[in-house]
Amino acid sequence: MRNFIIDTDTASDDAVALLMALRQPDIAVKAITVVAGNVPLSQALQNALYTVELCGADVPVYAGCQKPLLRPLETAQEVHGQDGMGDIGLPLRGRKAARGHAADALRQVIQAHAGDITLVTLGPLTNVALALLRDPELARQVSHCVIMGGIGSGHGNVTPTAEFNIWVDPEAAKIVYESGMEMTMVGWDISWRYATFDERQAAELRAIGSPYAEFAVDIQATLTEFSKTENHLAGFDLPDPIAMAAAIDPSICEYHDYPVAVTTGEGLARGMTVVDVLGVTGAAPGMRVATSADRQAFVDLLKSSLS
């Protein structure tokens, strides 16, 4: 069994990624920690708890930071719906989180499985940064960290230069990126190129016929429209699931090691992941960056998780 801990700002694509991990027979999800991002913390927490319940899993879910380290929270509810799950009427209230703060849970779980734990981050990096500020040694105790965030190549989805998770809390991202952890960045460029589903492809997922497949497609309702009109894609894309796929099976992506810096300014500079492809800075490569993916291998893993 491989041990995972997942940090999430649970909205529609996060929920599918959680489902993928929870339904892998060789993965033990030791905890899920929740951060504000796509939706406010209280809603992200309910969405995570609902998904765990849907999977029949016994995994503690911890509430974490309600806002970025230094900035007010800016959500993506225009993308994922007010409830983050497509506004399709799911009963997303009344469930209880585990006791304790997510940053403390991260520390405790990582320490308990030091050297044998994969950290997968699906949202802003506020919880992880806070845990590292309290205990920098955690960076050496995580066997690997897979980050859905940033852009390896190309354009952003919240500004021309930035991806949402890094843009929301760039100060936290800078702390994590400079922590010395063994890290892989699966940027939004990998999602829109390899994890977009048009109407026919979404119907193929739904045709699996399981409650998981119907859930995974239904909750993309508002994301589908946003992706078509604002991101100019053929349908919804699944950035968190393809990052989770890379954590589950690293061979799904190809990678290069690069120096990557996070900018913390304002305007177009905010939240950029500056990938030094040519090595012009002279900095040592500190990040494994996904540069391409095997679309069919990803879809096969997704379908097996939903079946």
Q: Region 78-102: what's the mean pLDDT?
A: 97
At 2 the three-state DSSP class reads: strand
Residue 241's domain comprises 2-306
CB 307 within 8 A of CB 213: yes
CB 122 within 8 A of CB 240: yes
Q: Region 34-45: what's the mean pLDDT?
A: 98
pLDDT at residue 8 in the model: 98
At 59 the three-state DSSP class reads: coil
State the residue for tokens 């500056």: 274
Rounding to the nearest 10 degrees, give the CA dihedral for residues 13, 214, 224, 127.
Answer: -10
Distance CA 150, CA 168 (A): 11
Please give the structure tokens belonging to residue 153: 């190549």
State the residue for tokens 């069919």: 296
Which element (helix H / strand E) includes 236? strand 236-237
Query: Rg (Cα) of the chain, in Å, rounded?
Result: 17
pLDDT at residue 76 in the model: 96
Q: What mean pLDDT, rounded, does the chain reach?
A: 97
Please give the structure tokens belonging to residue 114: 């030091």
Distance CA 209, CA 25 (A): 20
CATH assignment at residue 192: 3.90.245.10
pLDDT at residue 279 in the model: 95
At residue 293 the predicted structure's pLDDT band, cuts being 50, 70 and 90, is: very high
Condensed to tens digits (0 to 9), the pLDDT of residues 154-204 reads: 999 999 999 999 999 999 999 999 999 999 999 999 999 999 999 999 999
Number of domains in the chain: 1
Considering the chain, what percentage of its residues have pLDDT values greater than 70? 100
Condensed to tens digits (0 to 9), the pLDDT of residues 242-277 reads: 999 999 999 999 999 999 999 998 999 999 999 999
Residues in CB range of 193: below 8 A, 6 or more apart: 292, 293
Q: Region 228-251: what's the mean pLDDT?
A: 97
